[in-house]
Amino acid sequence: MELSDGEKLILTMLCELSAHLKIQGKVDPKLVSAALTSGNTWGIRHEYPGIFETKTANEAITDEVRNFLDMWAYIENAYRELTPTQKEIVEREAAPVGSNVRFSGFDPNYEVDHWATANFLVNHTGRFNSFRGRNINTPTHSIDMHRRMYATYRKLVTNGSLIGRANVTYLIAILRAARVAVGA
């Protein structure tokens, strides 16, 4: 969503007025204010899609980050449900990724749009609360890793394999996809 400086000022003032008067409306002034000050105005469209008719330029990034976060929420929940013996198998079979099964985030220096989008989704929307309060800054490029993992995850979702309880084999397959193929 592209906003002029004047529109940003007006929206900021309306957010402040709404908060001061404690108006309980359908639009959350804290979310709007956070979107304005962080440069993530696409977040307003994300939270209130019925208000807007046109698509944003960041929609592809937003969709991709949302997919990654959905995948990682599944991975972390599935891993948490495993027995200690199953966790040892995952650690061994999906090394080195299998030893720290946790969403690490994006590199804020080189993956700025993905990092800012994830940060906004985690900290300013009602989704992905399991990642809230977590440092999602990683010092290494991670988008390609998330894309490889998501491709495997998506195949398993598409064929129905991920319906029901976690399966060690599927979890290992997703985590192995994080590794870079050498000599490929």
Q: For 102-160, how does the pLDDT look when each residue is reduced to its tens digit (9 = 90+)?
A: 999 999 989 989 999 999 999 988 889 999 998 998 988 999 999 999 999 998 887 76
Question: Is the Cα torsion angle 83, 88, 93, 99 positive or negative in sign?
Answer: positive
- Where does the pLDDT of residue 59 fall: very low under 50, low under 70, confident under 90, or very high at 90 and above? confident
Measured CA to CA in angstroms, residue 79 lies from 1, 105, 112 at distances of 37, 18, 28
CA angle (104, 63, 82) in 5-degree steps: 45
What is the residue-averaged pLDDT of the chain? Answer: 86
Domain assignment present for 184: no
Q: Which of 46-55, 110-119, 159-168 has the highest mean pLDDT?
A: 110-119
Q: Which domain holds residue 22?
A: 5-51
Q: What is the mean pLDDT of residues 164-183?
A: 78
Query: What amino acid occupies position 152?
Result: T
Indicate whether 72 and 31 sit together in one domain. Answer: no
pLDDT tens-digit readout, 2-39: 788 888 889 989 989 998 888 888 889 999 999 999 88
Indicate whether 97 and 148 sit together in one domain. Answer: yes
Domain count, the chain: 2
Q: At what angle do helices 84-93 and 168-176 cross, to 10 degrees?
A: 30
In percent, the amount of the chain with pLDDT more than 90 equals 43
Indicate whether 104 and 138 sit together in one domain. Answer: yes
Indicate whether 17 and 98 sit together in one domain. Answer: no
Contact 140, 106 (CB under 8 A): no
- Where does the pLDDT of residue 61 fall: very low under 50, low under 70, confident under 90, or very high at 90 and above? very high
Determine the pLDDT at residue 183: 41
Determine the pLDDT at residue 160: 67
